[in-house]
Chain A
Amino acid sequence: MSDNVAIGFVLVGVIFDLLGCLGLIRLPDVYNRLQAATKSVTLGTCMILFGIFLEFGFTSGGIKALICALFILFTSPTAAHALARGSHVSGFKLWEGSVMDKLEEDKSKEDKGE
């Protein structure tokens, strides 16, 4: 029973990871791609690791899988934030279909003010 639940978690995790990769290919610019990649990969990978925890229980390996899941949950959004900020600072434009860019507006306002 517990085996099946664990396999189910791993399977759903893999499906979410796959959707994240699909988003990485289909979406237009770096920011949209980061959105898909971060969300799906965070949940997908955490679910795979949680499945491993269910399979092995409170053993050495199971607890380490839980710790890894926790680390991914904290570090993956931070990494995405760093990448997005880096891209914007180094001048990557948003996709042409984008509605607004408040950050760019505020930056150019600051430049004119100086």
Chain B
Amino acid sequence: MKNRITQFIVFFIFWLALTWPFNLQDVCAGALVSLIAIGLTRDLFPEEMVKFLNPVRVLWAILYFVYLIHYIIIANFDVAYRVIHPALPIHPGIVRVKTSLKSEMARTMLANSITLTPGTLSVDMVGDNYYIHWINIFTDDPEKQRQIIISKFEWMLRRVFE
């Protein structure tokens, strides 16, 4: 039941954003359409969204978003530097790092975040291991690689999802 309520809230907010600026008719139609959509998509909606009924998690999610944007901007200057540099300073390769996150959604978010941060792109995931294409490998030590690539997100994602 809690799951359905979360689903309703998400759909309803999305509808209101799409029909902005809304009036009473839009709100009534939105409530009706959201109810129908819940029936259609109940299997597709991730169960873990229930966790966002807790305001502390929402707050951490917003903080995480800001934190991520900061890294996306750094990543873009990194790409700009590599692309403009005449000598093309890259040492690419695929490395393996192990995650300690358990929740499915946290893992998905981590993979997405890895792709958006400086020099890394998640290629595959097998069991607990991420295979990451790294544009500038400067260390062979797996523990150090792990720290550089995913530790900066893991502690925050743990607060959001676990």
Contacts and interface: CB of A to CB of B under 8 A. Distances in A.
A98 to B, nearest CB: 5
Most buried by A among B90, B111, B126: B90
Contacts, number: 136
Nearest to B138: A99
B17 A84 contact: no
Interface residues of B, number: 39
Interface residues of A, number: 47
A2 interface: no
A67 B16 CA distance: 12
Interface stretch (B1-9, B40-48, B56-64, B77-85): B77-85
B121 to A, nearest CB: 5
A88 B124 contact: yes
B51 to A, nearest CB: 18
Nearest to B16: A63
Nearest to A60: B20
A81 B115 contact: yes
B135 interface: yes
B107 interface: no
16 contacts: A16-B76, A22-B84, A26-B88, A28-B90, A31-B94, A34-B133, A39-B79, A60-B21, A63-B18, A63-B20, A67-B14, A67-B18, A77-B111, A95-B92, A100-B95, A103-B96
